[in-house]
Amino acid sequence: MTAPASRRSAALRAAVLLGVLAAPCLRAAEGPGAPLPARMLDDLVVMAGGRLKPFATLAREEVRRIFASRRYAAQHPVETYLGVLFSPADWLERKCIAPDRRARAVFAADALAPREVLDHWDSRVAALHAMQRGGESSRAAFQRERAALESLWNEIGALYTRADAIRNAASQARFLPDPNAPDGEWLTGEGARAAAARGVASLTAGIDASAALARACAERDAAAFAEAARSLKAAQRALAAEHGCAILPPAMVGCELLYYAVDFRAVGLALFAAAALAFLLAGLRECAACRLAATALYALGALWTAWIVGGHTAIAGRLPLKNLHEVFLVVLFFVPVIGIVLRAAFRDRLYLGVAALLTAVGFTGSMFLPPEGYAISPLVAILHSPWREVHILTIMLSYAILLVAFGLHAAFIIAALASPRAAGGERGCSPLAERLHRDAVLTVGWGFFFLTAGIATGAAWANSSWGRYWGWDPKEVWATVAWLIYALFLHMRIFFKPRKGVLAAVNAIGFAAILFTYFGVTYLLSGLHAYR
């Protein structure tokens, strides 16, 4: 829970080396009267978070991580991050972080300077260490303070992490490849200077370009800024050409810039919400134009989800299956596909409308996921397994199918409540309600099949990577709970023939277990599957 002194020292050295001449750069990059062409750095390649990426991507990731928002004060992320990168001291004193409800109760303020958060926590940690060194007489006080500190971390831990990201901003980005490690890490400012001292001319040019960029920011010289940006890019290309250093190809830079050019979640929400509304109007008014518009919007939305998954795969070099943010994108791709399959199987556009509404709700929910895990990063070694993609894709497909089954039973409830009561006293006997219930049951059956396959392939992956098939990990346990609920659903349907409303309720309980397996285990419990 503490921030090691060595970490702060390394960050300070990096800040000095990267921005010794750039203390005023923040004002230059952010001020309304300083029209520096900061966007020229969009396609500058940097190494951060274990992979090569455009500077614009790094800026977006860090701004979202620090400020829990896509933009700060309506600035483009590149402009904001230039200031944070070159002049973190100024940002540490600025009231730029909005605390959440729990942190607001601790600090009694609606806006905080990162320095306040860091000093508050660091002073409490220092006091705790002093108590620990105090001997037996301080043991009781130490235990009380440690418990209080653990409680405090639950309230301000996320805020501290965001403030610490500003303090360590200068150590995040590496601008120059290492000529002595063509396939390895890029160089920090200190490493670049050490290598340049050994006579690598391209590194010297890159260091000079970085210094020129800093001076241009300080002097608010747009022409010098543009020239320095071009020189830094040229130095990167020269290092790649002369020493075989790895660098992101221009086509991949362009792909990534295009991928993040718009908020793909907002676009997906707009397309599927409009499609759901158009399907509703088509059903209420028997409007051919509405049906055509709904189908077109749905097709565009399905293509958009395919672009999201495909673009992520191209950028990361792997399927988006690492954390909650990524697998959520896969679920949002599967749901429209399932809607198309149901439409083809049952010859009814109603299933497209249900899938469109569920996908719109999913895109809305994805906007409220915590910023952790937003950045694309490499996989840890233990996750490299041929079973990984098979297991995660299968389990996510099962979740998507069961989500659609839940949506069909919710639509059944609405149709049943709108139906006249039958002679036997049971609602839900209208043809529409009967059809929805029948197809919901069939969809649960397919979801149960893929859930079973997902659990089985997960056991195979566990044995391959950890040497055991089952470890009572929280997500394993809760996936089994969900499996048992859906097994009960199918047995009730086959052997006991309960009322349709009872089956709909069991389906809802099963889907609640799926939601807890998906979200609750990730954020409330610890374990091998708590990838955020």
* pLDDT tens over the chain, length 532 residues: 444 444 444 444 444 344 433 434 434 344 434 578 888 999 999 988 888 999 999 999 999 888 888 888 888 898 888 888 878 888 899 998 888 777 887 888 888 899 998 998 888 888 887 777 766 666 777 788 888 888 888 778 888 888 888 888 877 788 888 887 766 778 877 777 777 777 677 788 888 888 888 788 778 788 888 999 999 999 888 888 887 788 888 999 999 999 988 889 999 999 999 999 999 998 888 788 889 999 999 999 999 999 999 999 999 989 998 888 899 999 999 999 999 999 999 888 899 999 999 999 999 999 888 777 788 888 877 777 888 899 999 999 999 999 999 999 999 999 888 766 654 555 546 888 889 999 999 999 999 999 999 999 999 988 887 788 888 888 889 999 999 999 999 999 988 888 888 999 999 999 999 999 988 887 776 655 555 5
Q: Does 227 lie in the same domain as 78? A: yes
pTM of the entire predicted model: 0.83
Can you give the pLDDT at residue 4? Answer: 44
Residue ending a domain, choose from 217, 233, 248: 248
Can you give the pLDDT at residue 270? Answer: 97
Can you give the pLDDT at residue 14? Answer: 44
Collapsing DSSP to helix, strand or coil, 69 comes out as coil
pLDDT tens for 49-106 read: 888 999 999 999 999 888 888 888 888 898 888 888 878 888 899 998 888 777 887 8
Can you give the pLDDT at residue 136? Answer: 62
Q: How far apart are CA 120 and CA 347, in angstroms?
A: 62
- Structural domain contains residue 364: no
Q: Which amino acid is at 529?
A: H
Identify the residue whose tokens are 């309960």. Answer: 498
Length of the chain: 532
Can you give the pLDDT at residue 2? Answer: 47
Q: Which amino acid is at 195?
A: A
- Is residue 8 a contact partner of residue 2, using CB atoms and an 8 Å limit? no
Task: Give how far Cα 256 sits from Cα of 54, 216, 276, 290, 304, Å.
Answer: 8, 27, 30, 35, 15
Residue ending a domain, choose from 248, 271, 303: 248
Q: Does 240 lie in the same domain as 97? A: yes
- Structural domain contains residue 386: yes
429: Cβ contacts below 8 Å, ≥ 6 apart:
419, 422
Q: Does 388 lie in the same domain as 243? A: no
Q: How far apart are CA 33 and CA 82, in angstroms?
A: 16
Give counts: helices (H), strands (E), the chain. 21, 4
Task: Give how far Cα 146 sits from Cα of 3, 16, 227, 525, Å.
Answer: 16, 35, 53, 21
pLDDT tens for 292-343 read: 999 999 999 999 999 999 999 999 989 998 888 899 999 999 999 999 999 9
Q: Does 388 lie in the same domain as 242? A: no
Residue ending a domain, choose from 248, 273, 307: 248
Name 301's bridge partners. Answer: none
Q: Number of folded domains in the chain?
A: 2
- Structural domain contains residue 7: yes
Task: Give how far Cα 382 sits from Cα of 289, 312, 447, 461, 462, Å.
Answer: 53, 21, 28, 11, 10
Collapsing DSSP to helix, strand or coil, 49 comes out as coil
Structural domain span for residue 82: 1-248
- Is residue 203 a contact partner of residue 189, using CB atoms and an 8 Å limit? no
Q: How far apart are CA 202 and CA 177, in angstroms?
A: 10
Surface-to-core class of residue 33, CB atoms within 10 Å of its CB (0-12 exposed, 13-18 middle, 19+ buried):
exposed
Record the tokens describing residue 298, joined without a space: 């749905």
Can you give the pLDDT at residue 131? Answer: 78
